[in-house]
Structure formats: structure tokens, C-alpha cells
């Protein structure tokens, strides 16, 4: 029997999304499983964002503060460093300082940070709240307006606050990250709620809830694979949004990325271990269908960029 | 090609004796067609029937064993393309490449690295399972001498890498009892390599970088020569080629039942690569997508731990959550007056809670209850994490002897349990902790 290339027939494709103003970035648009260009139009562009915060986070690992220390607490400088020095395709600004337990900064204070960051960079901006559903809704109302018509990505809309997010994303022309709880049905449900509220599904980016190696990676991985399969095979329009992987935050808080060799003899050098932890988490999610990745370490960014170029 | 249940039924005894634990031969045939049972569960099939049915009930990816004794590496025997469908069976074996032209001392060092590669995670012992000895000297005597030396220094399974049949033979004479994997039969040497694999009863790698059609043709020639335990190398070395070849090989085997590629595949993510980060990331592609053997140039601990962990994650059973043992765990060096917290034995829950208690820097006792691997809320909903169970566990672990105070911190999500636990455990006070583990450091520090 002769060998024939085992190609799949797909019925659907992934939405293509365009973001930014001065320097636009396009992602999504693939028609086959991740990077399988032998069977059709595959993912070709995976934008890699570096994460910054509105305040000095205070608890980042030395592997990160060694790099960002001087600019932490100055979001505009921090953003510029990531763009110019580390060649991030996008900047992801997480407004952790707005969390009620972490400074409780007002929407107006957050708005000033957004404004400063936007004027410091040309690449597109991702704006995330502090993962406090009520406060995020209040903050996003204001900062989305500050960033009006910059084609930014805002998030994360969740079941409890999606209406506010959808309204401001539409009013000020932003794309929306929709976060659900590690479950394909919940993810689909949220997309349905968003579109039923009048939001254009073409402007949604799915966050299936990221995790990292040893901390639930297999759940995220399989949920993402299943979302991709139902988008492509079943042509399910509510699953055809590009997916974002927010891996920096979940990776750099775990022991395996932070513990020094003295603290954990037998685990090897801490810096490359952390970088690899982040890189492998990002890579796994790209294998499972991710389109856009948020990272913290510039070397993880460089490694993933080089890998993606080989596909 | 796969047979239907009805076709299989024709070759069964049709006596409905029930020895296979199915009521009828037809029921058994249906399960066999779906690859849910093995043919040997029926003791009564004729020899002729066995021959035909074994052929069709064989797994789409052949099970190939490398090594001997308690260090046999099983590879292949996979039946699905995506881990959510069904558990992937055999995690890829990791190998360290060792060149025979290194000094004896360097070789010994590398073998020691392999011998010391074991790390524990979630109760599993994870390690580098193989050593891949590479003929870089071009000298058959040196290669076989090093093979013998390495075999003596380590019980890891062996891969012998040389394209020269004489060199391979010299090394096989020294190591055949260890059932090494021969690497590799090529278009030029396959008849001699196949003869060696037969003579020494070892598995054999088939290599062709001329496309998968050429690779499958070569496989056919090797199987025609009588060697069945094969491993494939398509020569893919870059990330893209690796992913696309590994995917095509696995898909052809599983979806098209294409026997000529129905074997485990080997990859070399570090070949021609000087950056260990890139090597490890490419190895990650192999772990996620269908590699069965991964030969690395470096196995530094900082790369091994993430690779082991990724492999463990991808190869867990999607139906059976990873669990940790029920126990009273120490976080830091707790004393008799340190806080006591309780959680479930779902490994994800355990690791998250453990991490946050460590972050708090408050030495603590962490009591882990067997909840059959379910998370806090799931276990509570399924009645696997309830007051009587918790009370019993506190007594069983002799906690009242180890700990002076009588305060038990429970997860915020199951605050409803607090009254009941206090009833079951007279003298104890239940403290309701935060819902999210992320708030534990603040909670514990405020308490201290
Ligand atoms: C994955 C999942 C499953 C998986 C199980 C995976 C597993 N190993 O547990 C499966 C599919 C098997 C499952 C089954 C069921 N599930 Co379920 N499941 C979930 C889901 C989506 C995620 C659970 C999870 O993994 N969480 C992550 C872990 C790490 O969380 P955790 O253990 O709670 O730990 C956190 C906190 O509790 C805290 N914490 C933990 N320990 C401690 C200790 C202390 C001292 C402190 C302070 C804090 C703390 O820290 C952790 C991180 O913040 C949740 C929804 C959700 N988002 O929670 C539903 C959920 C838990 N399931 C639910 C239900 C009802 C069930 C079922 C009974 C029926 C069903 N609907 O399917 C069955 C029962 C299972 C059985 N065997 O009979 C409900 C429970 C509702 C309720 N309040 O009672 C939930 C909430 C979904 C819902 N909204 O309906 N489920
Ligand atoms: S053991 Fe064999 S003969 Fe007996 S019922 Fe099962 S299939 Fe039929």
C-alpha cells in the first residue's frame, strides 16, 4: 500500500483579528490545526506580548526584577523597554494596582497609566484588570474610553461582568478577551452571551484560563484542543475565535520558577528553569491552538519567537 | 485493515461459552472491533483464527520494547490522536546522547548524569531512561569498547547509533543481552542491519530523510526481511518538520491503519543546536505531539524538571485525576502551635495550596484528605469531602498528639461544613479560610 499524506478535511476556520493603530498586528485566520501547513493555511503569525503592571508588583522573581527592576513602577518606561529592547509584538498592561486588596487605585488613576503607556509605544496594547469582576467593570469603563480608537484588546470579560465589557469594547472599538473557567461549554456559553448582547463575535478572543506545567496544564491544553477541533471540524461559529494564553502570570508565581538552587538542591539553575517553564507552557498552548501569548521573561519571548519561525 | 465485529465473529468459535466474560462471541467480537479488549481474552480461538485476528487487532502503533530487566522502555501502542479522547499509553523515553570520541572521563561523567537524573513528582519517579551512544570516532573497536563500558556503568536502556554494520555488530556482541535499539537501517545498509536485528533479537530504527513515502518503503523492505520491532526516524530536525512528520506518521497509523508507519518515532531535538533552551522547547513539541523517543544532547536539571513535568501532564489519564497520598504534610518546620489546614488530595489542589502556604512563609501543617483525586468543590458535591471523613482523618493521623491547639482551617468554599465538623470533633474549632488559595499568605500572616 502506498503512502498518502493524511490530511483532514475541515469545515470551519478561525476568525482573523487585526489590532493596533500605529503598528497593526494580525493574528488568527488559520484553517487547519496548529502549524500543520501541509494540510492548508496554518497559523503563521503568533504575536508575543510582554506583561507590565501599573504599579511596582513587589513580588516578582529575581529572574524578572534583575531585568525590569529600574523601570518597575514606571509603566511607560517599562512598556518602552519591552517594545524597543525586547521587541515585544504587543504590550500587556495588567492593572493589578486597582484591586481592592492591592492599593485599590481608582479608574481615573488607571486611566492616567493607560494614557502614558499608549503614548510611549507604537505596538498594540492589551489592557487587563486585576481579576476582580466588579472592580474590573468599573475600571474598564473609564480606561476603554481613554484608549478609544487605538484598536486595543481589553479584558477579561467574565460571566459576571461581560455586559459592561461588551458595551465599552463596542463603543470605543476594542477587541475583547472572554475568560471562562477551564471548560469548553462555559467558554462557548460566554461567547453566546456576548453575541446575544449584540457584541460582534469577530471581536472576541477566547481565554480558556491558562495554567502552567504541573499546575493544571493538561486541563487547559485539552480544553483548548477541543475548542479548536469544534471550531474546525464542526464549524462551530461560537468557538472560532482566536485564543490567548496568559502564561507569564501563572508561571512566575510557582515555586518551580522561583526557588533557587540553594532552596531546592537538585532542581538546577533557577533562571533558565523559570524561562523554560514559561517557554514550555507557551509552546504547549500553541500546540493546542493558541494564537496570542502573554509572557514575562524576554528570553522566553525570544525562544518562542525562534521556535515559531521554524514552523 | 480493521475488521467489523461481524467479520471478526466469523473467526470465533461461536459457542458463547462466556469465558471471555462476555455473554456471546458476538458481543466479544464487537468489543474487539472497537479495540476495547484483547484477543487473548478468548482462550478458544483456533490457531488460524488467531493468526488472522491478531493481525487486525494489533494496535495501530506497534508496541516496541527497548532494554532488559527492570529497565525496559515500552514505546508505541498508542490508539488516539488527542489526549482528551483516551489516555496516551507510553510517555516518550528521554535519552542522553553520548559520543564515543569523548574522553573516558567525560563519558563516565555523562553516564553519571543519567544515573542521577531521577526526580520525584506526584509520587512518580521520573528519569532519563536511555543512553544513546553515537559513533563519532569511526572506529568499530572504540565504539564497542565504549558500549561495553556504558552498559557496565548504567542500567539505562541503550541506543546504538552507527550506520556501519560492522561497527554495530561489534557493539552488539558486547551488549545484545541488554536489548539495545539499533540506529539505524538506511537505504544503503538495511539488509545488513535487519540481519543484525534478527540475529541479536533487538529492535531496529529505520531512517530515511527522503520523505515519508520513502521511509514507509524502507520499512516494508525491513519487515519483509523479518524484523518487526521498529522505530522510525524521518530525519526531521527543525520544529516545523518534526511536528508535521510526527503528526503524519501518527495519523497515518491511527486513522488510515497504514501499517508501514505504525511504529513509534524517535527525534533528535538538539542536533545541530547549540542553545539548550531551543533543544528543550523542541523536545516539548515531541512530548506534546507524538514522539516516542527523544534523544537530548544535554540533560541539565533545570531543563529536566520542566520536561518531566510536561510529559507527566500530557500523559495523565484525562479520566483519572493525578492524586497525592493522604497524609499530614509539613510545610516548612511547623511546631506544635503552627496552623493546621485541610485540603483534598487532587494533585492540582494540593500543589496550589502548598505553593501558597509556602509563599506565606508561615510554617504550617497541611492535612490532605483522600477525596479520590477530586478538587475541593467537586469532592464536596460528590460527598467525598465531608465532616465525618474529615473527623476520622484527624483522629487517624494522631493530630491531637502532634499539635497542641485545636483549630482547623478549612477551605472557604466549604464553609458550610464548619458546624458539622465541630460536632464530629468535640473540642475543636473550625476556622473558615479564604476561598482562593491566593489569599492564604495574607490570611496566615494576619493570623500569626
Ligand atoms: C474540573 C471539574 C470537575 C471534574 C473533576 C476534576 C477534579 N479532579 O476534581 C469532573 C468532570 C470529574 C467533575 C465532576 C463533578 N462536578 Co465538577 N467541577 C470542575 C470544575 C470545572 C473545576 C474544579 C477544579 O479543578 N478546580 C481547581 C482546584 C484547584 O480548585 P479547588 O480544589 O477548589 O481549590 C481551590 C480553593 O478551594 C482553594 N483551596 C483548596 N484547598 C484549600 C484549603 C484551605 C485551607 C483554603 C483556605 C483554601 C483551599 O484553593 C484552590 C485555588 O484557589 C468546577 C468549577 C469551578 N470552576 O470550580 C466544577 C464543580 C466543582 N463541579 C461541580 C459538580 C456539581 C460536579 C458533579 C457532582 C456533577 C457535575 N456537575 O458534573 C461531579 C461530581 C464528581 C463525581 N466523581 O461524582 C460543581 C459544584 C457545585 C457546588 N457548589 O456544589 C462545580 C462548582 C461546577 C458548578 N458550578 O456546577 N467536576
Ligand atoms: S470465550 Fe471465546 S468462545 Fe467463549 S464466548 Fe468468548 S469469544 Fe466466544
Cell numbers 504587543 correspond to what residue? A90
Reduced to 3 states (helix: H, G, I; strand: E, B; else coil), residue B322 is coil
Q: Between B84, B213, B351, which is nearest A214 by CB?
A: B351
Nearest CA in chain B to A251: B306
A62, pLDDT greater than 50: yes
Instruction: Determine the Cα–Cα distance for residues B70 and B325; give it in Å rounded to an integer.
Output: 25
CB of B166 within 6 A of ligand 1: the answer is no
List the single residue in B239, B260, B355 with the smallest CB-CB distance to A310.
B239
**Closest Cα to residue B80, out of B141, B121, B45, B35?**
B35
Q: Is the CB of B28 under 6 A from ligand 2?
A: yes
Contact B252 A6 (CB under 8 A): yes
What phi and psi values does residue B129 have, to the nearest 5 degrees? -95, -20
B12 CB less than 6 Å from ligand 2? yes
User: Cα angle vertex B122, ends B117, B123, to 5°?
Assistant: 75
* Residue A22 CB coordination number (10 Å): 11
Question: Residue A59 pLDDT > 90, yes or no?
Answer: no
Listed as ranges, residues in chain B with pLDDT below 50 are 1
Concatenated DSSP letters of chain A: ------PPP-S--PPEEEE-SSS-EEEE---SSTT-GGGS-------EEEEEESS--S---HHHHHHHGGGTT-HHHHHHIIIIIS--SEEEEE-GGGSTTTT---HHHHHHHHHHHHHH-SS-EEEE--S-HHHHHHHHHHHHHHTTTS--EEEEE-TTTHHHHHHHHHHTT-EEEEE-SS-HHHHHHHHHHHHHTT--GGGEEEE----BTTBBHHHHHHHHHHHHHHHHTS--GGG-S-BEEEHHHHHTTSHHHH--TTTSTTS--HHHHHHHHHHHHHHHHHHTT--EEEES-HHHHHHHHHHHHT-
Around B206, how many Cα atoms within 13 Å sit in the side-chain half-sphere? 30
For residue A216, list chain B residues with Cβ-Cβ distance below 8 A: 348
- Closest CB from A3, A38, A277 relative to B258: A3
CA of B20 to the centre of ligand 2 (A): 5
Chain B from 64 to 123: CB within 8 A of any A CB: 82-84, 119, 121
How are beta strands A153-157 and A125-128 bridged, if at all? parallel
Distance of alpha carbon A268 from alpha carbon A260, whole angstroms: 8
Distance CA B244, CA B240 (A): 6
Q: Do A3 and B261 touch (CB under 8 A)?
A: yes
Which of B116, B245, B247, B281 to substitute to test the interface with A, most A CBs within 10 Å? B281
Q: How far apart are CA A245 and CA A281, in angstroms?
A: 9
CA B448 / ligand 1 centre spacing (Å): 29
Element (DSSP H or E) covering residue B96: strand B93-99
Measure the CA dihedral A67/A68/A69/A72, to 10°.
180
Give residue-wise pLDDT tens across range A158-175.
999 999 999 999 999 999
Number of CB atoms found within 10 A of residue B77's CB: 18
What pLDDT was estimated at residue B1? 42
Q: What is the pLDDT of residue B59?
A: 84
**CA–CA dist A6, B433 (Å, integer):** 53
Query: Is the Cβ atom of B252 under 6 angstroms away from ligand 2?
Result: no
The pLDDT of residue B2: 62
Helix axes A270-287, A217-232, angle to 10 degrees: 30
**Distance separating alpha carbons of residues B409 and A200, to the nearest angstrom:** 46
A150 preceded by a cis bond (ω within 30 of 0): no
- Over residues A272-308, the pLDDT tens digits come to 999 999 999 999 999 999 999 999 999 999 999 999 9
- Strand pairing class (B293-296; B266-267): parallel
Buried/exposed B144-174: b ≥16 CB within 10 Å, e otherwise = bbbbebbbebbebbbbbbbeebebbbbbbeb
Task: Give B288-321 as a DSSP string.
Answer: HTT-SEEEES---HHHHHHHHHHHHHHTS-TTS-
Cα nearest neighbour of A282 on chain B: B281
Residues in chain B: 448
Q: Which residues contact A284 (CB under 8 A, 6 or more apart)?
A: A213, A217, A221, B284, B288, B310, B314
Write out pLDDT tens, residues A182-240.
999 999 999 999 999 999 999 999 999 999 999 999 999 999 999 999 999 999 999 99
As given in the structure block, the three cell numbers for residue A155 are: 479584558
Residue A157 C-alpha cell reads as 470579560
According to DSSP, residue B71 is labeled G
The A residues from 85 to 144 touching B (CB cutoff 8 Å) are 101
Residue burial B339-363, b: 16+ Cβ < 10 Å; e: rest: bbbbbbbbbbbbbbbbbbbbbbebb
Q: Is the CB of B257 under 6 A from ligand 2?
A: no
Average pLDDT, chain A: 96
Q: Which of B269, B343, B82 is nearest to A218 (CA)?
A: B82
Question: pLDDT at position A7, please?
Answer: 95
In chain A, the percentage of residues whose pLDDT exceeds 90 is 96
Q: Best substitution site from B381, B394, B436 to test ligand 1's pocket, by max atoms within 8 Å of Cβ?
A: B381
| Residue B170: strand, helix, or coil | helix
Write phi, then psi, for B359 (nearest 5 degrees). -60, -30
List the residue whose alpha carbon is closest to atom 46 of ligand 1: B411
What is the per-residue pLDDT for B288?
98
pLDDT at B4: 83
Ligand 1 close to Cβ of residue B242 (< 6 A): no
B365 Cα–ligand 1 center, Å: 23
Nearest residue by C-alpha to atom 6 in ligand 2:
B20
Residue written as grid cell 524521518? B234
Cα-based torsion angle of the residue sequence B69, B121, A272, B90 in order, rounded to the nearest 10 degrees? 50
A180 near A159, Cβ under 8 Å? Answer: yes
Q: Which atom of ligand 2 is nearest to the CA of B15?
A: 3
- CB A3 to CB B247 under 8 A? no
CA trace torsion A144, A150, A153, A158 (10° rounding): 20
Residues B234 and B246: their CA atoms lie apart, in Å, by 8
Quote the ipTM score.
0.93
B289 lies within 8 A of chain A by CB: yes
Q: Which residue matches cell numbers 469577530?
A: A202
Q: Tell me if B144 sits within 8 A of B120, measured CB to CB.
A: no
pLDDT at B321: 85
Contact (CB, 8 A) for B100 and B113: no
Q: Which atom of ligand 2 is nearest to the CA of B18?
A: 5
pLDDT-derived band of residue A44, with 50, 70 and 90 as boundaries? confident
Q: What's the pLDDT score for residue B320? A: 85
Report residue A63 as a C-alpha cell: 529572574
Amino acid at each position: 500500500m502506498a503512502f498518502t499524506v493524511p490530511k483532514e478535511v475541515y469545515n470551519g476556520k478561525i476568525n482573523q483579528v487585526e489590532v493596533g493603530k500605529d503598528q497593526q498586528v494580525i493574528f488568527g485566520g488559520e484553517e487547519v490545526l496548529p502549524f500543520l501547513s501541509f494540510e492548508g493555511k496554518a497559523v503563521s503569525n503568533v504575536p508575543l506580548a510582554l506583561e507590565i503592571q501599573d504599579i511596582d508588583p513587589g513580588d516578582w522573581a529575581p529572574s524578572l526584577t534583575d531585568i525590569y527592576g529600574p523601570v518597575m513602577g514606571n509603566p511607560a518606561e517599562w512598556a518602552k523597554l519591552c517594545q524597543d529592547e525586547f521587541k515585544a509584538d504587543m504590550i500587556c498592561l495588567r492593572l493589578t494596582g486597582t484591586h481592592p486588596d492591592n492599593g485599590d487605585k481608582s479608574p481615573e488613576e488607571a486611566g492616567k497609566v493607560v494614557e502614558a503607556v499608549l503614548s510611549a509605544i507604537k505596538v498594540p496594547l492589551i489592557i487587563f484588570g486585576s481579576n476582580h469582576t466588579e472592580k474590573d467593570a468599573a475600571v474598564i469603563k473609564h480606561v476603554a474610553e481613554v484608549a478609544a480608537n487605538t484598536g486595543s484588546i481589553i479584558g477579561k470579560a467574565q460571566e459576571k461582568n461581560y455586559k459592561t465589557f461588551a458595551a465599552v469594547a463596542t463603543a470605543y472599538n476594542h477587541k475583547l478577551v472572554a475568560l471562562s473557567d477551564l471548560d469548553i461549554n462555559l467558554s462557548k456559553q460566554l461567547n453566546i452571551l456576548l453575541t446575544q448582547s449584540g457584541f460582534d463575535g469577530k471581536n472576541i478572543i477566547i481565554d480558556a484560563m491558562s495554567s502552567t506545567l504541573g499546575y493544571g496544564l493538561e486541563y487547559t491544553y485539552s480544553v483548548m484542543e477541543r475548542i479548536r477541533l469544534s471550531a474546525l471540524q464542526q464549524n462551530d461559529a461560537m468557538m472560532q475565535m482566536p485564543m490567548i494564553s496568559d502564561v507569564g502570570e501563572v508561571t512566575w508565581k510557582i515555586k518551580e520558577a522561583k526557588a533557587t538552587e540553594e532552596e531546592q538542591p537538585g532542581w538546577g539553575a533557577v533562571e533558565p528553569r523559570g524561562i523554560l517553564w514559561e517557554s514550555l507552557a507557551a509552546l504547549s498552548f500553541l500546540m493546542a491552538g493558541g494564537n496570542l501569548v502573554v509572557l514575562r521573561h524576554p528570553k522566553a519571548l525570544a525562544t518562542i519567537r525562534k521556535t515559531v519561525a521554524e514552523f | 485493515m480493521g475488521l467489523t465485529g461481524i467479520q471478526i465473529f466469523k473467526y470465533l468459535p461461536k459457542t458463547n461459552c462466556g469465558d471471555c466474560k462476555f455473554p456471546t462471541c458476538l458481543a466479544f467480537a464487537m468489543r474487539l472491533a472497537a479495540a476495547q479488549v484483547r484477543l487473548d481474552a478468548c482462550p478458544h480461538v483456533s490457531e488460524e483464527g488467531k493468526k488472522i485476528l491478531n493481525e487486525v487487532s494489533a494496535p495501530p502503533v506497534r508496541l516496541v520494547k527497548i532494554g532488559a530487566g527492570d529497565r525496559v522502555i515500552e514505546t508505541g501502542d498508542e490508539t488516539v490522536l488527542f489526549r482528551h479522547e483516551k489516555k496516551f499509553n507510553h510517555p516518550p523515553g528521554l535519552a542522553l546522547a553520548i559520543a564515543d570520541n569523548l574522553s573516558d572521563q567525560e563519558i563516565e561523567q555523562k553516564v553519571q548524569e543519567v544515573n542521577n537524573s531521577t526526580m520525584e513528582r506526584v509520587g512518580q519517579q521520573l528519569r532519563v531512561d536511555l543512553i544513546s551512544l553515537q559513533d563519532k570516532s569511526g572506529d568499530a573497536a572504540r565504539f564497542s569498547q565504549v558500549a561495553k563500558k556504558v552498559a557496565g556503568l548504567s542500567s539505562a536502556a541503550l541506543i546504538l547509533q552507527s550506520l556501519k554494520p560492522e561497527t554495530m555488530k561489534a557493539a552488539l556482541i558486547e551488549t545484545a543481552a541488554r536489548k539495545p535499539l539499533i540506529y539505524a537501517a538506511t537505504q544503503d545498509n538495511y539488509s545488513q542491519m535487519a540481519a543484525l536485528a534478527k540475529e541479536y533479537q533487538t529492535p531496529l530504527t529505520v531512517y530515511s530523510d527522503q520523505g515519508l513515502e520513502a521511509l514507509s518503503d524502507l520499512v516494508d523492505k525491513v519487515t519483509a526481511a523479518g524484523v518487526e520491532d521498529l522505530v522510525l526516524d524521518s530525519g526531521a530536525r527543525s520544529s516545523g518538520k518534526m511536528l508535521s512528520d510526527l503528526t503524519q506518521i501518527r495519523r497515518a497509523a491511527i486513522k488510515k491503519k497504514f501499517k508501514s508507519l505504525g511504529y513509534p518515532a524517535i527525534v533528535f531535538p538538539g542536533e545541530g543546536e547549540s542553545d539548550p533552551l531551543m533543544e528543550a522547547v523542541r523536545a516539548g513539541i515531541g512530548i506534546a505531539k507524538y514522539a516516542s523517543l527523544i534523544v537530548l544532547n544535554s540533560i541539565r536539571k533545570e531543563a529536566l524538571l520542566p520536561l518531566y513535568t510536561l510529559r507527566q501532564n500530557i500523559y495523565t489519564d484525562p479520566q483519572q485525576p493525578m492524586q497525592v497520598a493522604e497524609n499530614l504534610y509539613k510545610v516548612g518546620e511547623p511546631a506544635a502551635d503552627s496552623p493546621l489546614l485541610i485540603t483534598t488530595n487532587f494533585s492540582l489542589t494540593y500543589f496550589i495550596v502548598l505553593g501558597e502556604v509556602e509563599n506565606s512563609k508561615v510554617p504550617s501543617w497541611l492535612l490532605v484528605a483522600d477525596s479520590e483525586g477530586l478538587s475541593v468543590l467537586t469532592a464536596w458535591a460528590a460527598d467525598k469531602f465531608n465532616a465525618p471523613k474529615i473527623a476520622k482523618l484527624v483522629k487517624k493521623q494522631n493530630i491531637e498528639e502532634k499539635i497542641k491547639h485545636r483549630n482547623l482551617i478549612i477551605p472557604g468554599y466549604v464553609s458550610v461544613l464548619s458546624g458539622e465538623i465541630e460536632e464530629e470533633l468535640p473540642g475543636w474549632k473550625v476556622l473558615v479560610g479564604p476561598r482562593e488559595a491566593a489569599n492564604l499568605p495574607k490570611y496566615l500572616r494576619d493570623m500569626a
